[in-house]
Structure 1
């Protein structure tokens, strides 16, 4: 029996990371809104979230982020959401949430970004 879990941090079929970034069976929305990210062990920064799913997100990073580092996404009006950096490439990074977003939170974040909140306040 394969006991691969999210905490195993093995990016392969059957892992949480693989499913959250590659399984497109959950809604994945292109978005554009400002937020902040605080990776474990380093100073937080302002970012623009580029896509969002129940399992994770892609955002802009001013510097390289270490794969498998934990981080917290803060969107105004929502509790901070923990995740793990799964990939970084040329100023973009992907994160798998520690716990899948529930649909009501996902929809509320989409409504937040559609309202235009936060995107004009950030320079990335």
Structure 2
């Protein structure tokens, strides 16, 4: 029988959706904790990366609240010195993704520094 791996890990490994550089002020929350501010710096249909500098275990559940949208469930895929990478539990609607990419581009000064 073929081995199945959870979507959260497959999404990180095959990068199943194009990522878009953005700068979206958002809120993040982990189970049993209060929410805190983060900046989402890339987003795709499958997940996002944000500037939360936390050492959180892979698979930890979190909720991301983007401006004007309810909390989206996700799981931590990785963490490094730039922040957290997470996979959405349910993929974003392409129209929703397009809206955020159009409304929250990376400011030109940020692009030059990167």
**Structure 1-normalised TM-score?**
0.74
Which position in structure 1 is the counterpart of 2:87?
A: 96
74, 82, 87: which one aligns with 1:83: 74
Q: Flag the 1:70–1:25 CA change in 2: closer, same or farther, 3 A.
A: closer
Instruction: Report 1:44-63 matches (<5 A).
Output: 44-63=35-54
Unaligned runs of 5+ in 1: 5-13, 117-124
SS at match of 2:91: coil
Residue 55 of structure 1 and its aligned partner are, at CA, apart by 0.5
TM-score norm. by structure 2 comes to 0.80
1:66 corresponding residue in structure 2 = 57
Cα root mean square deviation, aligned: 2.1
User: 1:23/1:99 Cα in 2 relative to 1: closer, same or farther (>3 Å)?
Assistant: same
For this pair of structures, how many residues does the alignment match? 107
The 1-side partners of 2:16 and 2:57 are apart by 27
